[in-house]
Chains A and B, each alone.
Chain A
Amino acid sequence: MILIDILKKDRGGQIFLAVLLVTTVTVACLNLAVPESSVWHVSTYTVTLLGKYLTYALLAVAVDLVWGYLGILSLGHSAFFALGGYAMGMYLMRQIGDRGVYGNANLPDFMVFLNWHELPWFWYGFDMFWFAALMVVLVPGILAFIFGWLAFRSQVTGVYLSIITQALTYALMLAFFRNEMGFGGNNGLTDFKDILGFDLQADSTRIGLFVASAIALALGYLACRYIVNSRLGRVAVAIRDAEDRTRFIGYRVDHVKLWIFTFSAVLAGVAGALYVPQVGIINPGEFSPLNSIELVVWVAVGGRATLYGAVLGAIAVNYGKTYFTAALPDLWLFALGALFILVTVLLPRGIVGLLRRREATQ
């Protein structure tokens, strides 16, 4: 019922969710049920790659919510993604137990290597999945809340806000690079063994994570669509288009921004948490300011303020990246820059805008 309500006027969303459902089921079947010798078999490598794309897509949806609808160009969303990832990574580290190189059941390898004798307090609790899952939501959420509280109250907007979001993710990157922070320094967290008792290398676990990513993406999409369809969503667009005016008709613009920004950060955190077990590593590079900028390019390429455009953009650009970095690794950044310029100049509404125009002319 609610589902029908949310998707009633969202044809793009209906198509996207249908495609997502069909793809997920097909890929899962082709991987698990079809023998490897068959041409129809989908390799586990591909499954994991697709799973990774899905988490990127969720991240892109989160960015589109704040950028496309609320008009906040966050250039720091990879920070929330990485924090969610670290929370999950810490759980996975604790799952290793005494199977590490040093065989120390109480301490992750990198701590033994640093000659630490005790687990730092902020690692407490991460041996329990529920606690880690809670942190996946809380850590990015609280950071976004505090950051947003300070920024939106003082009415920092536009380029200035974008710059401080960059500074935020950059500062976190530098911090996480330091060994004494207790998050594995520049190596980050890796060598994970299993999750909830399931072997991370097993095909079935990979499929499980892939399906979980698909579900998270679908739910994240629906939640964002619900917000966008609500009156609050219309207030968000009003803020984007005429912030002063919105304030003068009685809305607390800072509160609206704060809640939507925080929600978006939580979604980004969840995406990060699903990303880490699939790629098998989280390191401070994920905080890189460049990552946040890349994210914005995905959304721009797909088409702002559509949500499904963000999904499309994230998958298209990352598919291109996978392809490109294999063929011409040095040129990727240039290609990305060129892509951004081309899209901004030629396709201000992204791929979705192009498709719509084609439809309209027919």
Chain B
Amino acid sequence: MRQLEHVRETFSRGEVWSFMQPRPSSLELDVTHGTILYLEDVSVSFDGFKAINNLNLYIDAGELRCIIGPNGAGKTTMMDIITGKTRPDSGSVYFGQLINLLKLSEAEISQAGIGRKFQKPTVFEHHTVFENLELAMDGDKRVWPTLFAKLTGEQIDQIEEALEIIGLSEHLGKSAGSLSHGQKQWLEIGMLLMQNPHLLLIDEPVAGMTHQEMDRTAELLTSLAGKHSVVVVEHDMDFVRSIARKVTVLHQGSVLAEGSMDEVQNDQRVVEVYLGE
């Protein structure tokens, strides 16, 4: 019956189909209080298992935050919640003061300015490196504009710039599936840059990278902070140390400790559950 109602709604004469509407202005980000992301009392359970348990987390605008925690702590699940992939059982998630992320679809959240890199690198394997970046590019992503989209010179420059940053300029015509694991990670970061998001969520960026590549990633992420807010989940402690200003430790779905790397490392509880293992 609900579906029938949807059909009715869709075809009623007054209805302007959502994909024909201009982007609602409520998607404008408001960070006047200096905080870009609010997670308050968020809980979610899978078949009775509490993956996220009363989680409270605040990310400042322009901040670079590292999130660490043992396997299964709920780090990826937290990102799933922010990006709309998983809906929490309770709690609230706000992007800036005004945008209630729990009310938006995944695509809308992305349009609002949250970009995400997955734990397992996912690029479009059958597309070239260039096309991957083109698809990710910020812009009108509705069906008709996409059908008739043409790349402007400015946009090509933008893509080339991103290629430069991620060091894949020579590979722009290669299919993404043929890249090495580390290069795919970079490409995915490049796709994030093309989206030009306010907030970047980056899940395990350096897995499978050489030390050299890691250094460059660290450099890139630190350079992004300030203009963007960046949240990095990472297991590699050396890497975290090299970029971290503020570290949050997750454990069993809630925040165990928060502070500078040194503070966190000296926290007795953290040592017990994580660093001491």
Residues of A within 8 A of B (CB): 146, 149-150, 153, 227, 230-232, 234-235, 237-238, 241-242, 244-253, 255-256, 259
A234-B135, A247-B110 known; 12 new pairs, CB 8 Å cut-off, are: A146-B7, A149-B6, A230-B149, A231-B146, A237-B124, A237-B126, A237-B127, A245-B118, A249-B195, A251-B107, A251-B146, A252-B105
Q: Which residues of B contact A (CB under 8 A)?
A: 3, 6-7, 10, 19, 83, 85, 105-107, 110-111, 115-116, 118, 122-127, 131, 134-136, 141-143, 146-149, 191, 195
A230 to B195, Cβ gap below 8 A? no
Task: Check A249 against B118 for contact (C-beta < 8 Å).
Answer: no
Asked if B127 contacts A245 (CB within 8 A), the reply is no
In the assembled complex, the Cα of A227 lies from the Cα of B144 at a distance in Å of 11
Distance in angstroms from A223 CB to nearest chain B CB is 11
Closest chain A residue to B113 by CB distance? A250
From the candidates B3, B110, B134, name the one contacting A250 in the complex (CB within 8 A). B110
What is the CB-to-nearest-CB distance from B142 to chain A, in angstroms, rounded to a whole number?
A: 7
Query: B residues within 8 A CB of A149?
Result: 6-7, 10
Complex Cα distance, B131 from A155, in Å, reads 25
Given A227-B147, A235-B135, A235-B146, does the pair A252, B107 have CB atoms closer than 8 Å? yes
What residues of chain A lie closer than 8 Å to B19, measured between beta carbons?
252, 255
Report yes or no: A232 in contact with B147, Cβ–Cβ below 8 A.
yes
Known: A146-B7, A149-B10, A235-B135. A249 touches B146 (CB 8 A): no
Beyond A232-B146, A242-B124, A249-B195, is A150–B3 a contact (Cβ under 8 Å)?
yes
Once the chains bind, are B143 and A232 in contact (CB under 8 Å)?
A: yes
Question: Do B149 and A249 touch across chains, with their CB atoms under 8 A apart?
Answer: no
Are A249 and B143 in contact, CB atoms less than 8 angstroms apart? no
Task: With both chains docked as a complex, state the minimum distance between the C-beta of B215 and any C-beta of chain A, in angstroms.
Answer: 27
Which chain A residues border B83 with CB–CB below 8 Å? 248
* Complex: A153 Cα to B107 Cα, angstroms: 13
Shortest Cβ gap from B262 to chain A (Å) = 34
Contacts of A255 in B (CB 8 A): 19, 142-143
Contact present for A230 and B143 (CB under 8 Å): no
**Closest residue of B by beta carbon distance from A240:** B126
A-B contact pairs, 12 of them (CB 8 A): A150-B7, A230-B146, A231-B146, A232-B143, A235-B146, A242-B123, A244-B85, A244-B106, A245-B123, A249-B141, A250-B110, A252-B107
CA distance A253 to B142 in the complex (A): 10
Chain B residues with CB under 8 Å of A251's CB are 107, 141, 146
Assess the B7–A249 pair: CB atoms within 8 A. Answer: no
Q: Which 6 A-B pairs have the closest CB atoms?
A: A250-B110, A232-B147, A231-B149, A247-B106, A232-B146, A245-B122
> Does B141 contact A250, Cβ atoms closer than 8 Å?
yes
Tell whether A230 pairs with B148 under 8 Å between CB atoms, given A150-B3, A248-B83, A249-B135.
yes
Contact A241 B124 (CB under 8 A): yes
A41 CB, nearest partner CB in chain B, Å: 45
- Residue among A150, A249, A253 with the highest chain B CB neighbour number at 10 A: A249
The answer to whether A259 touches B143, judged by C-beta atoms less than 8 angstroms apart, is yes
For residue B3, which residue of chain A has the nearest CB? A150
Q: Which of B6, B115, B125, B146 contacts A241 (CB 8 A)?
A: B125
Instruction: Give the Cβ gap from B108 to chain A, nearest Cβ, in Å.
Output: 8
Q: A241-B126, A245-B124 are in contact. Are A252 and B141 (CB under 8 A)?
A: yes
Return the contact of A244 from the options B10, B122, B136, B143 (Cβ within 8 A): B122
Expressed in whole angstroms, the minimum distance between the Cβ of A71 and any Cβ of chain B is 11
Contact between B134 and A231 (Cβ–Cβ < 8 Å)?
yes
| Chain A residues within 8 Å of B125, by CB | 241-242
**Residue of A149, A153, A231, A253 contacting most chain B CB atoms (<10 Å):** A231
Q: How far is the CB of A70 from chain B (nearest CB, A)?
A: 12
Closest chain A residue to B201 by CB distance? A248
Q: How far is the CB of A161 from chain B (nearest CB, A)?
A: 16
